[in-house]
Structure formats: C-alpha cells, structure tokens
Structure 1
Amino acid sequence: MITALLFAAAVVPAGQTFQCTPTRVWDGDGPIWCAEGPRIRLSGVAARELDGSCSVGHPCPDTDPIVARDGLVQLIGKPTGQSREGHVLVRGPTMTCRSDGGAGGDRTAAFCVSPQSGDVSCNMVAGGLAAKWQRYWRGHRC
C-alpha cells in the first residue's frame, strides 16, 4: 500500500470530479496524498515551503510554513504520525475534489471540499494559512 501511495499517482484530467481520502500531507498547499492514488496540490493558493522560502513568482504569505501545514492537516483530518520522508500522516474523511489539471510532475491541482471543514482552499485563505493566488483562483467561489 505504501508503494501505491508514493509511486502510483496519476494526474486527474481537468474538470473531472474525484474522491480523495487523505493519508499524508507535505506542506501548506500540498501535496495531499489520497488513498485513491492522486496527489493534490491545492488550487488557487500558495503557502511557504517548509524551509520558510517562497518560490519565485508565487504569492508569499506571512504564515510560518509549519503552522500552515498543520492547519491544512486539521482542515482535512487528524495527524496520526510522521513518515520516514517527513510527511505528516493523516486520517480524515473522504473529500470531493475538482481537478484543474496538472500541477507539475504527478500532482493534480484541485479545489477540494472536506465534510469536516468545507472548501479547503477557501479555508486556508480565510485562516491566513495561505495566500490567494489570483492566477489560479479563476473565479472560484467560497
């Protein structure tokens, strides 16, 4: 199962709705690993990298990267530990996501709604955990 989680991800085509049961999180904008296979990069938002930096051309929120990552974990589930690679392991309810297509590599950009917290991207912005990235927000409504 771990092999499937780490290596069997495929990009979900843009416009397709899919399910994601979160199993692990890297940082405040993803990726979020889904038990169903995809790795999600949250659409419409940007968070600091774990080393505190911001990628060139990305919005750069003030929030500490660990605070942002832990906030994302709380929005989608509960932390259950840490992987050898440094991911926060998560157990949470299945989310419904809409793909915006590829987000580089094997990641799917998506807006997701959690039964636990609602629209994840909207809540990351509203909580000050991530910055809205207008280029990729594309008129999304909270």
Structure 2
Amino acid sequence: MFVILASLAATTVPAGKTFRCTPTRVWDGDGPLWCAEGPRIRLSGIAARETDDTCRSNQPCPSASAQAARGALVNLVGTPIGRSREGHVLVRGPTLTCQSLGNGKGIRTAAWCSSPRVGDLSCAMVATGTVLRWKRYWRRHRCENGM
C-alpha cells in the first residue's frame, strides 16, 4: 500500500512550479483535467456543479448544468474523441502551460492554466457562464478583460 500511495502523491506538482499539460481526459467543469504528463489538474479559482448536478454546500453553485460546464471545458482545451469506461470525456488538444498552487485535494494539483487557443482557462470558463468565480481561491487573479 505504501508504494501505491507514494506513486499517487508523485502526480501532485509542488506549489510554485510551472509545468506542461497535454490534456487527455476531462471529468467536469473545474477538473480534474488529466494530463498525458501525469498530473490531474483542479482548475483554480472556479466552481462547477458536480457530475450529478449537485453543488457542495461550501462552494458557489452556478446555474449551468454539470454537463454544460464539462462540455465548455472540453471545447476550450481541445476536441472530444470519445469516452472512457469511467465516464471521462477523452480529448485531444494543444499543450497547456500551468502554474501549480499545490495539492488540490487528493491526487489533484490546483493550478492556473493557459491554453494557446484561449488563454487563461479559469477566465475562459467564467466567460462561458457555466462556472462561477470562487472568491476564496480567485484572490488577486486577473483576466485579460479585467474580470
């Protein structure tokens, strides 16, 4: 069991590190977004509905459905190419550049990510109207449009 836990912990990128992520899977509108390089990213500063369309009591609750948020993220990061047996949307898209904020709960890395297609993913997701800014984690983050 120690070996399994050690290998899972290795996928969390330490805070402050810049890393690359070639997206391969999307679970929901705020992540995890799976990277070919290993990490699973929880996009920083935003909140989406859970896949069953519920919201957690300790986070903002957008009016858009979980399916709409996941579809928006899929379209922002690349092209859908299928489904995994676990329910992830499989994607193919350009490599993202991400800045880690550290552990995003479990084996996820909380990160601000930028796409060569759309720029800042958290800002782009807020602009879709399918997620909400989560003030607790957004802090001083700025989008190009001043949001």
Alignment partner of 1:46 is 2:61: no
Q: Which residue does 1:118 correspond to in 2?
A: 119
TM-score, normalising length: structure 1 = 0.93
Q: Which residue does 1:127 correspond to in 2?
A: 128
Q: Which residue does 2:71 correspond to in 1?
A: 70
Opposite residue 96 of structure 2, the aligned amino acid is: M
Paired-residue identity, %: 65
Opposite residue 133 of structure 1, the aligned amino acid is: W
> Secondary structure of the equivalent of 2:68?
helix
Q: Which residue does 1:4 correspond to in 2?
A: none
Where has structure 1 moved over 3 Å in runs of 4 or more? none
Q: Which residue does 1:11 correspond to in 2?
A: 12
Q: Which residue does 1:139 correspond to in 2?
A: 140
Deviation of residue 116 (structure 1)?
1.2
| Cα RMSD after superposing both structures | 1.1
Q: Which residue does 2:95 correspond to in 1?
A: 94
Structure of higher CA gyration radius: 2
> Secondary structure of the equivalent of 2:71?
helix
Work out the CA distance in 2 between the residues paired with 1:112 and 1:17.
9
In the TM superposition, 1:1-40 aligns within 5 A as 10-40=11-41
Work out the CA distance in 2 between the residues paired with 1:56 and 1:99.
25
Opposite residue 39 of structure 2, the aligned amino acid is: P
Q: Deviations over 1:22-81 (max 9, x none)?
A: 000000000000000000000000000011100120100001110100100000000000
Work out the CA distance in 1 between the residues paired with 2:74 and 2:26.
7
Q: Which residue does 1:57 correspond to in 2?
A: 58
TM-score, normalising length: structure 2 = 0.90
Work out the CA distance in 2 between the residues paired with 1:95 and 1:129.
21
Deviation of residue 129 (structure 1)?
1.4
Opposite residue 55 of structure 1, the aligned amino acid is: R
Work out the CA distance in 1 between the residues paired with 2:86 and 2:139.
33
5+ residue gaps, structure 2:
1-6
> Secondary structure of the equivalent of 1:33?
strand
> Secondary structure of the equivalent of 1:123?
helix
Work out the CA distance in 1 between the residues paired with 2:24 and 2:127.
24
